[in-house]
Amino acid sequence: MAVSIKFPGMQRIVTNTDSIDMPITENTRVSDALQYVRQQHPSLPLEEGLVLVTVNLEAAPLDRTLRDNDTISFLPLIAGG
Amino acid sequence: MKILHQIEYKPARVIGGYTDRILRVDLSKREITIQEPPADFKNKYVGGRGYALKIIWDGTTRDTRYDSPENILVMASGPLGNEPAFPGTGKFIVATISPLTDTFIDSNIGGHFGPILKRAGFDALAVSGVSREDIVILIDGDAQTISIAAAPAYDKETDDGSLSFGENLLRDVNGGECSAYLAAVTAGKGARNVRFGIVNSLFFDVRRKRLRSKQAGRGGTGTVMRYKGLRGVVVRSSLSVVNSNNAVNREAVRQAGSRLKAVLSKCDPQQLSMATWGTTSLSEYMDKFHIFPINNYQYGQSPDSPKLFAQVFLDKYFNKKIPDGCYYGCNLACAKGAENVELTRGPKAGKMVNIDGPEYETVGAVSCMGIFDPHFVMEYNWYCDEYGIDTISTGVTISFFMECFQRGFLTADDIGYELAFGNIQAVDRLLHEIADGQGFGRIVGQGVARGKEWVARKYASRNGTSEDAITAELNKFGMEVKGLEFSMYITKESLAQQGGYGLALKGPQHDEAWLIFIDQVHKELPTLEHKANALKWFPLIRTWFNATGLCKLPWIDVRNPEAASTAEPAKNLPTLNYYVAYLNATTGSNKNLEDILDDSERLYILQKLINLRHGKGTRASDQIPWRAMGPVYFNEYEARAEYYDEWLRQQLGDDKIPASSEQRHKLLMEKRAETYQHLCDIVYQKKGFTPEGIPKRETVERFGLMDEQARQLLSELGV
């Protein structure tokens, strides 16, 4: 089983890729994905409270359990213009 | 330059953010007067939009239209504008009675004009009357003179252009040199020929070593300026920008500013990266969540959208090494620009130009026309600025006519050519026709609301059908409310933003409430009650920014990490606390956030009264096109049928879902329309309005606004 972690915007430039795949088990959570990205791309600043976590484009908490083929993004907290 | 009238004056010193002087210029009488407002004026009306509201409420009537001589064009910063120690303090407001909405409009604009006007001695400039010849106003705080001069004539190309004319004008009054001590506002030839003319704000950027421009884009303020015969206003002051507000507590200003700057430095790179990409960074996120307004807001997403993402503009156009604040001291620095871009289309093809932008809104406007060519975005941006027309209203109005062509309401014979979505050649031709007031451009220059009337007449006479029936159909996808075109966000899946647009007093511009992400994506407004509360709170705090001379982006577009532990993170209250501290340190007040919201509510109610006076203030004026609520036509529904069917299931339960997709589509739209009315009911109640959207007497009295005019107006409305 695996999930895809997408890198939008400036994250794509820092990581030099659109996405990475992460193998998961039945108990893998969103917080594990965050940790995985930090290990794979330590130069990518991802601070809890400064990003909106989405799973399959829906906002998700860090303790949500991941499923096969889920798509995860760590998005900016866009609130205005 | 031929001086027609001049006075000498002693510039008032700025103390605690205010000069307590308003400059009044009557162009019909060629009179210049300096007004000292009453002692409580600033306490009651704050500055910026608040000053403009009071001046226009008192100085115009319900019969005043954009081209009435008594119409007033107000330009005003606010007590917190003009402070490099705090980010985002170069904003000022341009306000008037709009040619699009026939009621009060204000548009905020960056650059140095507002701060220099203040250093030259004025909290606001209010221009009334109409000049028979084209003129310019020169406010020279150094020479201590204010002049009305005949607009200089250079050559036709320069005189037609807002940017070109402005640069020549600024050099003209300063011995041929540009200088950081001067700034100007100008209007171009397009503003003479359309209802959505803009005001350009020109200032010298010492880093890029060239003139930059920002725009007051919405609602036709440039059209009014040009109609008055006012080609430009130049302000000059060589007073130091450091502590030029003479804050009551300079150290506290410095501390508040340092805290905000630290948040921006740390958090912007992790969030929207606006310091690098400007607001173009939004395109990708809007597309991801079906909010990008493609083909007149029909579809929110396209495989072609990545051609308009921020990285494209960064790689091809933006200079990556220069901080781009539109005023000193702003480290969000989102005012991106490009040098030496070659125009490949239009009457200036082959010319190398400097371009300020594009902002997200301009990118969105081009996608709205079904075009995904980044170089066209750059050219469209420059031509619109040079002509002095709004990129948003221009794009939305063209898109409306494109959809009329798509759906058979107009033919190529009506237009003169095939105006199909994505047809760059057609748009390129039409853009210049609009600016020249020629051909089909003359029709498009009137905006969507008047465009609907024209199409209905044309179609009805050709087909022998009723104009009313056609108008009803056009109202479904003609993207305007109160006469103003929508800005560039699809609201189909955000009820809160439907209210954000529909209930906005000026019309559907997002600077009053931008709730789309916190509603649709963050899911922070799950109930009607939450949405209605947000539709009261956000317009009030945003009004305050427009009254004080501040940019909202450092507050709202960079989330403070401390906000995560607050009850309502989207309000970003930890950052707002810096603003409250900045206010008190500057003016010497002792206000808290609730006091600020009360101040704003007074201004909000006053704006509502002006809308009522001009026939745009009741529930009928808050209605939005069906396109804003959901998929109007079956093709839009089909594009996301699975999503919409699931939405219906969640609302109604499985057993009430019709079998046919046509019936599901019809039911979906009925449900959306019904829900919007419920939202209006709750919002009106929370704002102290009647069910018709009219402020109750006690609401008006609570804010000290019950003057004779208000009393009579409410009586006529049966309140």
Chain B residues lying within 8 Å of A81, measured CB to CB: 279, 282, 360-361, 487, 510-511, 514, 553, 556-557
Summarize pLDDT for B81-140 with one digit per residue, the tens: 999 999 999 999 999 999 999 999 999 999 999 999 999 999 999 999 999 999 999 999
What pLDDT is recorded for position A79?
85
The answer to whether B455 and B404 have CB atoms below 8 angstroms apart is: yes
Q: If you count them, how many residues does chain A have?
A: 81
Summarize pLDDT for B510-546 with one digit per residue, the tens: 989 999 999 999 999 999 999 999 999 999 999 999 9
CATH of the domain at A7: 3.10.20.30
B272 CB near a chain A CB, below 8 Å?
A: yes
What pLDDT is recorded for position A47?
86
Under an 8 A CB cutoff, do A79 and B572 touch? yes
The residue-averaged pLDDT of B336-341 equals 95
| Interaxial angle between packed helices B641-652 and B661-686, expressed in degrees from 0 to 180 and rounded to the nearest 10 | 60
The residue-averaged pLDDT of A24-45 equals 95
Chain B residues lying within 8 Å of A49, measured CB to CB: 559, 561, 563-565
pLDDT, greater one: A79 or B321: A79
Q: Does domain B498-558+591-716 have CATH number 1.10.3720.10?
A: no
What pLDDT is recorded for position B357?
94
Q: Is the pLDDT of residue B384 over 90?
A: yes
The residue-averaged pLDDT of B144-153 equals 98
B56 pLDDT band, cuts 50/70/90, is very high
Q: Give the pairing of strands B230-236 and B135-140.
A: parallel
The answer to whether B211 and B202 have CB atoms below 8 angstroms apart is: yes
In a domain, A50, yes or no: yes
What pLDDT is recorded for position B334?
93
CA distance B489 to B514: 10
Choose among B269, B563, B565: nearest Cβ to A45: B269
Chain B residues lying within 8 Å of A58, measured CB to CB: 523
A49 pLDDT band, cuts 50/70/90, is confident
Summarize pLDDT for B93-104 with one digit per residue, the tens: 999 999 999 999
Q: What element of type H or E holds B253?
A: helix B250-267
Q: Is the pLDDT of residue A48 over 90?
A: no
What pLDDT is recorded for position B508?
98
Q: What are the residues of chain A with a beta carbon less than 8 Å away from any beta carbon of chain B?
A: 8-10, 12-13, 45-52, 54, 57-59, 75-81
Cis peptide before B115 (omega within 30 of 0): no
B301 CB near a chain A CB, below 8 Å?
A: no
What pLDDT is recorded for position B680?
98
Summarize pLDDT for B225-275 with one digit per residue, the tens: 999 999 999 999 999 999 999 999 999 999 999 999 999 999 999 899 999
Q: Give me the domain span that covers residue A58.
A: 2-76
Residue written as token pair 């501040």: B550
B215 pLDDT band, cuts 50/70/90, is very high
Under an 8 A CB cutoff, do B270 and A81 touch? no
Chain B residues lying within 8 Å of A9, measured CB to CB: 272-273, 277, 281, 284-285, 310
> Which are the contacts of A1, defined by CB distance < 8 A and separation ≥ 6?
A23, A24, A25, A26, A67, A68
What pLDDT is recorded for position B319?
76
Under an 8 A CB cutoff, do B510 and A76 touch? no
Q: Is the pLDDT of residue B46 over 90?
A: yes
What pLDDT is recorded for position B710?
98
What pLDDT is recorded for position B322?
81
Summarize pLDDT for B575-596 with one digit per residue, the tens: 999 999 999 999 999 999 999 9
In a domain, A52, yes or no: yes
Chain A residues lying within 8 Å of B273, measured CB to CB: 9-10
Under an 8 A CB cutoff, do A10 and B556 touch? no
Q: What element of type H or E holds B262?
A: helix B250-267
In a domain, A81, yes or no: no
B654 pLDDT band, cuts 50/70/90, is confident
B279 CB near a chain A CB, below 8 Å?
A: yes
ipTM for the predicted complex comes to: 0.96
CB pairs under 8 A between A and B: 89
What pLDDT is recorded for position B13?
97
The residue-averaged pLDDT of B383-393 equals 98
B interface mutation test: which of A10, A19, A41 has the most B CBs within 10 A? Answer: A10
Under an 8 A CB cutoff, do A48 and B564 touch? yes
Q: For B183, phi and psi rounded to 5 degrees?
A: -150, 165
What pLDDT is recorded for position A80?
77
B270 CB near a chain A CB, below 8 Å?
A: yes
Q: What average pLDDT does the structure give for chain B?
A: 97
A interface mutation test: which of B265, B266, B271, B487 has the most A CBs within 10 A? Answer: B271
Q: What distance separates the 2 farthest-apart alpha carbons in chain B?
A: 79
Q: Is the pLDDT of residue B609 over 80?
A: yes
CA distance A51 to A22: 19
Under an 8 A CB cutoff, do B270 and A13 touch? no
Q: Is the pLDDT of residue B358 over 90?
A: yes
Burial class (CB in 10 A: 0-12, 13-18, 19+), B19: buried
Choose among B277, B311, B561: nearest Cβ to A50: B561
User: ∠B4-B8-B11 over CA atoms, to 5°?
Assistant: 130
What pLDDT is recorded for position B581?
98
What is the dotted CATH code of the domain comprising B3-236? Answer: 3.60.9.10
Residue B563 DSSP code: G
Under an 8 A CB cutoff, do B281 and A80 touch? no
What pLDDT is recorded for position A50?
86
Residue ranges covered by each domain of chain B: 3-236, 272-485, 498-558+591-716
Chain A residues lying within 8 Å of B642, measured CB to CB: none
Q: Is the pLDDT of residue B453 over 80?
A: yes
Pick the CATH number of B272-485 from 1.10.10.10, 1.10.569.10, 2.60.120.330, 1.20.120.80: 1.10.569.10
Q: What percent of chain B has pLDDT over 90?
A: 97
The total domain count for chain A is: 1
CA distance A77 to B518: 8
Q: Is the pLDDT of residue B21 over 90?
A: yes
What pLDDT is recorded for position B129?
98
